[in-house]
């Protein structure tokens, strides 16, 4: 009878604990280093120009190039003379991975916040607006040889890791999901007239790997599943409007006119954004699983698929899609590639960052025979993304930023390189 009473007691204890299997374990892990939310919201500031170390997204506005230093901030280069770009300043923005600019206001993610930064005077850059707790909780890269210790979001944002022994209670039904590495467009650019800073007119140009976009008075930021929509009618005071379920596996955003093209690991998804706060789904174009940036020119969409690692499959190719009837995209042809990342289009000139195969430049006047019209190739550069504009190509690679003059596509000229230190 005593044994039965003991077993009933154990059963009651298990039931009262919610049937969760809990135990304490000591193990070596990535232990988070936190920055408090209070410190995060005081951290945006201008500092002296610094070298590129871990460059990410690129952006162009007026005569300036903006290069994201991943999770750290933004380098600003005066590109009045592309053969001699001047490293002008650095803007510290913790947790930054992507940017967009309208007029003289730069919008940047800072971990879970969206920040508006006044860049009208490049000697006095300052934060002018912020929307708090509107983006996914982001973690910096960590050593995947070790597990992650539990994250306590109440302590702030994670800015780094220590590899050390941790002791924590393990609960088998605890499955946190975090956004890794931040936000991993392409619109009309306006020529600049200001010499002291960015002009108050027009929207800048981002690369094909961008997750930010601007249409009229609306700013979009897309993560893996969600389109975050902000009103920038008052540029210095962005206002969060809503979150919109954009699909799954979203990686890139490219806006043309009233259409938004989202590249995902399974296809290209098209939305009508003529009513900016209420995107209207148009259609999908499905393809094999693979990492997938997309650019559009006229009646054609160009998609690069990269396989391996987290991208799925081992397919590496360029896909040409007719969007003459945007309701029914039609695949025209595919071309084998080595390991493509970003790409850019200027009229009929297509630039592809093809991994170890370097930069490739094609004439795509005949979409059915692109492989027969390779104009140039630069095989010794591990390339990531490009921005072609008015005969100037801005390209970010593994070892820095390159610029080329392609005004004469039969005689493309190297102009300059900003190297990584």
Most confident among 14-28, 193-207, 276-290 (mean pLDDT): 276-290
Residues 95 and 19 in one domain: no
Is position 120 within any domain?
Answer: yes
Residues 216 and 342 in one domain: yes
Q: What is the mean pLDDT of residues 318-342?
A: 95
- The pLDDT assigned to 312 comes to 57
d(CA 60, CA 76): 10
d(CA 262, CA 209): 10
Residues 162 and 290 in one domain: no
Is 90 exceeded by the pLDDT of residue 114?
yes
- The pLDDT assigned to 192 comes to 34
Do the Cβ atoms of 271 and 259 come closer than 8 Å? yes
Confidence band for 307, pLDDT divided at 50, 70 and 90: confident
Do the Cβ atoms of 342 and 386 come closer than 8 Å? yes
Residues 92 and 158 in one domain: no
SS3 call for 262: strand
Confidence band for 13, pLDDT divided at 50, 70 and 90: very low
CATH assignment at residue 258: 2.130.10.10
Do the Cβ atoms of 142 and 148 come closer than 8 Å? yes
Confidence band for 152, pLDDT divided at 50, 70 and 90: very high
154 is in which domain, residue-wise?
A: 2-30+144-171
Q: What is the mean pLDDT of residues 359-368?
A: 97
Is 50 exceeded by the pLDDT of residue 12?
no
Asked whether the CA dihedral 42, 47, 51, 52 is positive or negative, the reply is: positive
Residues 94 and 154 in one domain: no
Is position 161 within any domain?
Answer: yes
User: How many structural domains is the chain composed of?
Assistant: 2
Q: What is the mean pLDDT of residues 408-418?
A: 95
CB neighbour list of residue 328: distance below 8 Å, 6 or more residues apart: 283
Is position 47 within any domain?
Answer: yes
d(CA 253, CA 228): 12
Long-range contacts made by residues 33-39, C-beta under 8 angstroms, separation at least 24? 33/158, 33/159, 33/160, 33/161, 33/162, 34/152, 34/155, 34/156, 34/157, 34/158, 34/159, 35/94, 35/156, 35/157, 35/159, 36/155, 36/156, 37/156, 37/157, 39/156
SS3 call for 366: coil
Q: What is the mean pLDDT of residues 216-228?
A: 96
d(CA 115, CA 26): 39
Is position 165 within any domain?
Answer: yes
d(CA 352, CA 387): 11
Is position 176 within any domain?
Answer: no
CB neighbour list of residue 3: distance below 8 Å, 6 or more residues apart: none
Q: What is the mean pLDDT of residues 123-148?
A: 94
List, in sequence order, every residue forming a beta bridge with 285; answer none if it has no partner: 268
Residues 308 and 322 in one domain: yes
d(CA 142, CA 334): 36
DSSP for 20-70 reads --EEEEEEEEEEEEEE-HHHHTT--EEE----BSSEEEEEEETTEEEEEET
Q: Which residues of 345-354 are buried (b: 16+ CB within 10 A; e: fewer)?
A: bbebbbbbbb
d(CA 161, CA 171): 22
- Name the DSSP class of 150: P
Is position 352 within any domain?
Answer: yes
Residues 256 and 211 in one domain: yes
Residues 94 and 243 in one domain: yes
pLDDT tens digits for range 90-112: 999 999 999 999 999 999 999 99
CB neighbour list of residue 31: distance below 8 Å, 6 or more residues apart: 149, 161, 162, 163, 164, 166
Residues 104 and 197 in one domain: yes
Is position 349 within any domain?
Answer: yes
State the maximum Cα–Cα separation within the chain, in Å, rounded to a whole number. Answer: 95
pLDDT tens digits for range 29-86: 999 999 999 999 999 999 999 999 999 999 999 999 999 999 999 999 999 999 999 9
- The pLDDT assigned to 188 comes to 34
Is position 177 within any domain?
Answer: no
Do the Cβ atoms of 81 and 124 come closer than 8 Å? no
Residues 356 and 301 in one domain: yes
Residues 328 and 258 in one domain: yes
Residues 387 and 415 in one domain: yes
- The pLDDT assigned to 310 comes to 61
């Amino acid at each position: 009878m005593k044994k039965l009473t003991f077993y009933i007691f154990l059963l009651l204890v298990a039931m009262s604990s919610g049937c969760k299997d809990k135990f304490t374990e000591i193990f070596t892990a990535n232990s988070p280093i936190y920055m408090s939310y209070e410190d995060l919201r005081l951290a945006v500031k201008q500092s002296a120009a610094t070298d590129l170390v871990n460059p990410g997204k690129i952006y162009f506005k007026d005569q300036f190039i903006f290069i994201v230093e991943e999770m750290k901030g933004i380098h600003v280069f005066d590109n009045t003379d592309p053969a001699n770009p001047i490293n002008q300043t650095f803007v510290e923005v913790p947790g930054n991975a992507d940017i967009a600019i309208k007029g003289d206001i730069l919008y940047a993610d800072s971990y879970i916040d969206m920040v508006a930064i006044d860049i009208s005077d490049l000697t006095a850059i300052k934060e002018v607006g912020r929307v708090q707790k509107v983006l996914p909780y982001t973690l910096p890269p960590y050593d995947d040889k070790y597990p992650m210790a539990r994250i306590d979001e109440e302590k702030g944002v994670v800015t780094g890791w220590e590899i050390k022994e941790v002791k924590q209670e393990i609960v088998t039904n605890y499955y946190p999901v975090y956004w890794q590495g931040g936000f991993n467009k392409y619109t009309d650019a306006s020529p600049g007239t200001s010499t002291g800073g960015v002009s108050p007119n027009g929207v800048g140009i981002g690369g094909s790997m961008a997750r930010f976009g601007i249409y009229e008075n609306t700013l979009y930021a897309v993560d893996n599943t969600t389109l975050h929509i902000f009103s920038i009618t008052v540029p210095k005071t962005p206002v969060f409007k809503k979150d919109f379920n954009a699909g799954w596996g979203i990686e890139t955003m490219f806006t043309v006119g009233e259409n938004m093209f989202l590249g995902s690991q399974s296809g290209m998804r098209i939305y009508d954004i003529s009513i900016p706060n209420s995107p209207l789904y148009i259609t999908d174009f499905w393809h094999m699983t693979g990492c997938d940036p997309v650019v559009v020119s006229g009646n054609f969409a160009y998609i690069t698929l990269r396989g391996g690692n987290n991208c799925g499959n081992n397919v590496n190719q360029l896909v040409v899609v007719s969007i003459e009837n945007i309701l029914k995209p039609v695949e025209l042809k595919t071309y084998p590639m080595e390991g493509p990342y970003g790409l850019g289009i200027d009229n009929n000139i297509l630039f592809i960052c093809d991994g170890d195969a370097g930069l490739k430049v094609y004439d795509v006047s005949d979409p059915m025979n692109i492989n027969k019209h390779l104009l140039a190739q630069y095989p010794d550069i591990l390339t990531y993304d490009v921005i072609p504009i008015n005969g100037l190509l801005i390209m970010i690679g593994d070892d820095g930023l390159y610029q080329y003059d392609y005004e004469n596509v039969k005689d493309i000229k190297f102009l300059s390189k900003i190297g990584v230190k």
